[in-house]
Structure 1
Amino acid sequence: MRKRWDQWVERFRNTSLARKMMVVYAAIFGILCGITLLAMQVTLSIYDGQLYQKSLEELNFFTERVDGELKKVEELSFDLAMDYEIQNQLSVIKSAKNKAEYSFQMSKLRSRLTTEALSAELVSEFIYTDKFLTRYEVGKRYVELPVGIYDSLLEKFDKAKGAYVYENPTEEFPYLVSGRDIRKHIDASLDYLGSLIFVSDIRVLIEKHLNQLKTDVSSLCVTSDSGLIYQSEDGLYEKIRQVLPESDYEIINLEGRKYFLCQLTSAETGWTYVNMFPYSSIYFMNTMVRYCLIGGFLVLFVAAMLILKRLSTAITRPLNRLTDSIQIVEAGEFQKAKEYLEGEKRGDEAGILTQEFRIMLDKIMVLIHENYEKQILLKDTQYRALQAQINPHFLYNTLNSINWMIRSGKNEEASEMLISLGDLLRAAFRKEQLATVLEELELARHYIDIQKVRYRRRAEFLVEAEGDLEAYHVPRMILQPLVENSINHGVDNSLNKCRILVRVKENEEAQTMTLEVEDDGPGMTEEELETVRNFTMVPKGNGIGLKNIRERLNLIFSDAVFEITSQPGKGTVVRIEIPKYGGK
């Protein structure tokens, strides 16, 4: 094992620098992806637990609503049993001395019970009995009460001495039968005056609140010590009775499918409520998020490896070119070796080494060429420094806008912005120092497309172009910063919608190209305008300053015009006029 490890270390030591970087990058990125996926898995697991708890809370809420309805039935029985008018009528009936008076009072009692039964939402039928001769049944629907249940309930009435009692529904008789004896309270004698029995359709009572369970595809069954009370579909209880969990909730396998099952026992009635629904119906999106995250990280890992491969190649390329140049020097071709390294202008160690090697070649070459080469190097180095300042700032601002869109939940608009950003970066990251006027205008258009998403209600963008824009060249990245400057100082400081006009025009007579960016924002006072013109005003944000643009223009065009005009309340205009450069 030790020998194999030493072989791998030796192979890694002798491999190319680019491959070493790829291995290191892959290891670091893989570890980060693994940690991120693990964190997301833990987060989603916690979220699963919250969903389980939420389902149980919904079942608890449903149970409380059903218990509340049953409580109303109990309260109704108490109110009728304690009603003074009913107590008085029953007292008169009990002491009636002739049949006419008895019949009259019984008719009044029946009329009262009929009125109460018709207005009682949860009770299908009222039954009054004196346990001997009289039994009245009134209500919205007649239900034939089994003799066994009737006799059992009357026995419980005797034992309860006026308290509320009930018989649990069963699968054979799915009705809640409840009630109490009516005891005489008007004289506190507690004499027996009769019994009230209520018959309630438990299916109607439960289904009244079944929509409280938010999952549309859920199945519910209710059981008691007496057996099944209710089931939302035939055969449900027989399916799940063998797999009922001991805990409050559990994921079960039933007929080859996964179901989430939660159960709750009511403290009021002792009934057990069991709610079951397909696992995928509520956790489908959660599962999809897991798969999408894994797939996304795999795609990201592959994309990152491709990018890192290009990056490592770009980093090691100067060293490879320097090696090739040294081999050219060995053949005595100093000028050719120097020309071979012309494109390498970097500030890192490889760049410094390359630069020192070129200086060594300069000292070997003729002194007359030395001064000329230094001037070229100075000018090119200044431009590279400016360009290195531009790209990171611009990319940072754009990515910050995309981040803002994603945080706001505007994913479609963020996607459009990312597409525009890709087009923009392809154009902005080209290596040439100059671009055609058309390319520079297209670069600004891509930037405007990005900002349209962000400032759709606060800014209006117009672009005007005239002339042969493909024939002439301008320094790359000078138009887009002007648009960004108008947004920062015009749109962001305006209370009303701001209009930004980008105008590019070829002046055939003057043999010049004019680039203008105009906004109708708040403008500037003379004092503010003077600070901008002499570049003493601190730029807003981290964008490319106007001084930066002017210096880049001066590096290439000695007679470039760079003007800034502004009036308070009327906006600001930045105009650049440069000689035609390039041409057909």
Structure 2
Amino acid sequence: MLFGILLGGFIAYRNIVPMLDRDAQSYSRNLATQINGRLEALLIQADTVALQAVMDNTIQADLTSMLSGGQLSLDRKLDAGPILNRYMAFAPLIQSIEIYNGNGEPYAPVYKLTLASQLSNFTSLSTQLSETTGKLFWLGLDSAQQNELIALREIMLLDSDGTPGGYELVRLHVSVLNEISRDVSDDTMIRLYDQTGNLIHANHEMNGLGLEEAVRSDLIDWNGQSFRVVHHISHLTGWTLAIMIPIQKINEPIEKLQYSLTLAGIISVGLAILLSYWISLPITKSIYQVRKIMQKARRGQLTPNPVQYVNREANELNMSYNKMVNDIHQLIEIGYQKELAQHRAEIKTLHAQIHPHFLYNTLEAINWILREQGQNQTASLILDLSELFRYSISSSEFATLEQELTHVKRFLALIHMRIDEKLDWMVEASPNLMAIEIPKLIIQPIVENAVQHGIEPSLHPGSIRILATEIDEYLDIIVTDTGIGCTIETLTLLQNLLLQPPQLNDSFQGSMKTGIGLLNVHRRIQMQYGDSYGLSIDSSKPGGTTVRIRLPKPTFRKR
């Protein structure tokens, strides 16, 4: 029990720890996805409002006019300011929206510097913007205003079939990034880098930790503390979000599990010891009492134990002992009855042997009287009858195949005398099989059954063929008659009876008018060789009947 508890705790620990580790990794990835989703939601909101602003009809018309070489008055340019302010009112996170013509010169507000003056890489950016087809390109922190995020868009003119007509510069205060750290624990580090690796946002100061160091591996050490790093690259901005969670926080559930399992193990071991003692006490006491009873049985005192124990195991053991005692008494009684029956059978056999000697002598005398009178055929029949009786009551259990077939021939000769021309027979067997010993009197009952139930009831003459042959590892003796056969119902009944256990056969024999000889032969063969051997029967009405006697070749005994 103790081993089971310890093994169970070890298996639980081995299974739960990887699961907790996977949960921690999944939590980290989900947290990164959640924070990135918040960031992209804010930027998409700003992008949507900024796009609506440049799609305004007035601004589109002014940019189209400037693209065609037209000059706008100062008042016309100033009119664009309220329009932009109206759109920015829908997105408070936008600090300003600036519109420039195709050359990067300010359109609204008019006091701004050119884009080339504000963005040192404007030339390369304009090339990238031409490939984004009007999408907002997020640049990161403004180099001049570190508290502002900037994004640039190339404005498409709707009336000119989407021809580029200017640029839109969107500015967001960097404080909007504080929203992405909402609901994040204080010990979790969040760092946001732009496409070039510059730090955009961090919820804690970690001086000197650049993008390369943050995403170099899944684990980093900082200020004596280990962190698990999960990074996520935004498809919208191309920025890299790095989230660092303290290993101590990740391992906290595992440490709690270790403590809980250790405490539970100590308590379980103590309870197991007490419980084992409490449970085993009545068991051992009951088993000790049963053991004393069994020791008496070993000394010859086979008496049942009537005591009923509360413990189930001891009670079952005692019941098994009582059953064993009863079985032994029954076996003793059965053995006694068998010995008594055998003794009686031996006495009957001795008595039976007295009368056949008188019968043999009498038949022998009749044989010689008939021969003196010239009745040789009748004398031969009397001699066959004498030999038939002598063979039937001999004490041997086995006979050669030749002796068995000779006995059958004598039987058929006597039957032929009674039904004359109605019966014809044929016996076929290879000479090399004649010396094989088989159980005595297994063919004659089958032949007798064929005569009585097949040939005699028929209105026409019939024949019986007896064939002994080797088939694979079997010796088959096949008895075929051309009698009336039997119905399908009778054939099915006989076949089922041959498949039943002997005790069921006994219950059917009392109600059977035919087939008793078949069943007796079948039982004798199976008792001698096993259930794989015995009789099989096939018949049709009309058409005759075939009975196959199957014996095992490996058990043949030759003289």
Which TM class, normalised by the smaller chain length?
0.3 to 0.5
Instruction: State which structure, 1 or 2, has the greater radius of gyration over its C-alpha atoms.
Output: 2
TM-score by length of structure 1 reads 0.44
TM-score by length of structure 2 reads 0.45
